[in-house]
Amino acid sequence: MKLFKKSLYIAAAMLVSFVSVQCKDGKKKETSTEVAKTVEEVTITKESFGTTEDHIPVENYILKNSNGMEVSVITYGGIIQSLKVPNKNQVIEDVVLGFNSLAQYEKPNPYFGALIGRFGNRIAKGKFSLDGKEYTLATNDGENHLHGGPEGFHRKVWTASEKQTEHSASLVLSYLSKDMEEGYPGNLKVEVTYTLTDKNDLAVSYSATTDKKTVLNLTQHSYFNLSGDFSKTILDHDVTIDADKYLPVDATLIPTGELRDVTGTPFDFREAKQVGKEINSDNEQLKRGLGYDHCWVLNGKEGEIAFAASAYDKASGRMLEVYTNEPAIQFYTGNFLDGTLPSKQEGTYGHRTGFCLETQHYPDSPNQKDFPSVVLEPGQNYKSSTVFKFSVK
Ligand code: BGC
């Protein structure tokens, strides 16, 4: 902390002397403004985001780095409410869909920006067995269970604490999910840390422990639109996904169990490709998902943080790269957005105006023995990490 304060003083001193030299030399004012930007300090501010229908106060934590990049996280659902990122001309704009009011987040919505638990993605018919005992989960997607159920982690108010270093700002969110919540066994203690660094990385680290054998698959459900203009679709973004295989789904979007080669299909994103290039092609799987709504099996070694996917918006120059130690990623192209939900900007969110890159284990894993295990036992520590890395090009 001392070191941190000391370097701030040094930075401030450098700024003052530089500005005064500039003034004596009669150079333009803009020059000193640019310098001021480079020595902006990391900050965390907290403000109220209202109270829930049940009268629980909700806070909004705004983490800011020295480049002016800013993430707002609300304690309701651990939702990333806004993510302001510079474009190639240093213009800082919001790149995630969401709402301006808590009341809107409390109404049914497609999990905008939320932390998802206990299980990201679908579990067939909301049922699974552990050690011969069958568990029945709340169903909320036809006959299936989706994203932890109707009262999943996206609707919980999390306890927050802040951490700050010279080059990073973190928000630590914790939540105790009680035994049998939404049908899942075990008292589960969960901690999720959002860290914004001076490298324009937003890291999301998950950890959890349980007192009974259970299943767990946490993820983050931000909808990105790198243009910063939510009236535009994301169809002209260039996407890459480092995966040779993806999981085809049945009519209810449950994986069939097959790991299918992407070669020669619209699912091949190993080289950068515009999202819109093949999204409407005559392909049985695209018809099922009404676009891309599938899980890709990542090439990286399980358990090691590796590059998973990227998205690039040429007009703004914004590039997003996703790194994770999870074995898979769900790429969802906002196919169910239909112009009914109010935008943070003007108007409403139209079809395909946001995409999600949700790092995770495979959907329906508790029922599919050949998929990597999602079982968490007492005494084990669940650990998962994802980094959303922003740059311009
Ligand atoms: C799923 C979609 C679903 C969306 C919103 C995505 O993760 O893959 O099928 O519509 O979340 O719930």
Give the domain range for residue 284: 46-392
Region 247-274: mean pLDDT is 98
DSSP 224: B
| In a shared domain, residues 30 and 170 | no
| In a shared domain, residues 263 and 131 | yes
Looking at residue 40, what is its pLDDT? 83
The CATH number assigned to the domain holding 152 equals 2.70.98.10
DSSP 376: E
Looking at residue 20, what is its pLDDT? 32
Looking at residue 168, what is its pLDDT? 98
Looking at residue 46, what is its pLDDT? 98
Three-state DSSP at 163 gives strand
| Residue owning the nearest CA to atom 10 of ligand 1 | 336
| In a shared domain, residues 283 and 202 | yes
Region 213-232: mean pLDDT is 98
Output the six-digit token pair for 253.
């979007």
Whether residue 333 has pLDDT greater than 60: yes
Whether residue 357 has pLDDT greater than 60: yes
Q: Would the CA dihedral through 88, 38, 22, 26 be positive or negative? A: positive
Looking at residue 301, what is its pLDDT? 83
| In a shared domain, residues 240 and 358 | yes
| In a shared domain, residues 29 and 117 | no
Residue for token pair 């707002």: 72
Region 201-208: mean pLDDT is 98
| In a shared domain, residues 182 and 294 | yes
CA of 183 to the centre of ligand 1 (A): 20
Region 166-185: mean pLDDT is 98
Whether residue 15 has pLDDT greater than 50: no
| In a shared domain, residues 14 and 52 | no
256-261's contacts with Cβ under 8 Å and 24+ in sequence apart are 257/368, 257/370, 259/297
| In a shared domain, residues 99 and 7 | no
Looking at residue 251, what is its pLDDT? 97
Active site members: 221, 358
CA of 90 to the centre of ligand 1 (A): 32
Lowest-confidence pick of 35-39, 135-139, 242-246: 35-39
Looking at residue 303, what is its pLDDT? 82
Whether residue 289 has pLDDT greater than 80: yes
Whether residue 25 has pLDDT greater than 70: no
How many domains, the chain?
A: 2
Q: Is 276 in the pocket of ligand 1 (CB under 6 A)?
A: no
Does residue 267 contact residue 277 with C-beta atoms inside 8 Å?
no
Residue 16: phi, psi to the nearest 5?
Answer: -60, -50
Region 334-339: mean pLDDT is 98
If one residue of 97, 105, 112, 146 were mutated to test the ligand 1 pocket, choosing by the most ligand atoms within 8 A of its CB, it would be 146
Helices of type H across the chain: 2-25, 29-38, 102-106, 284-289
Looking at residue 388, what is its pLDDT? 99
| In a shared domain, residues 98 and 222 | yes
- CA atoms of 17 and 35, how far apart (whole Å): 11
| In a shared domain, residues 227 and 340 | yes
| Residue owning the nearest CA to atom 11 of ligand 1 | 110
Lowest-confidence pick of 25-39, 105-119, 314-328: 25-39
| In a shared domain, residues 340 and 271 | yes
| Residue owning the nearest CA to atom 8 of ligand 1 | 293
Looking at residue 302, what is its pLDDT? 76
| In a shared domain, residues 17 and 61 | no
The fraction of the chain above a pLDDT of 70, given in percent, is 90
Q: What is the pLDDT of residues 76-120, one digit of tens each?
A: 999 999 999 999 999 999 999 999 999 999 999 999 999 999 999
Q: Is 349 in the pocket of ligand 1 (CB under 6 A)?
A: no
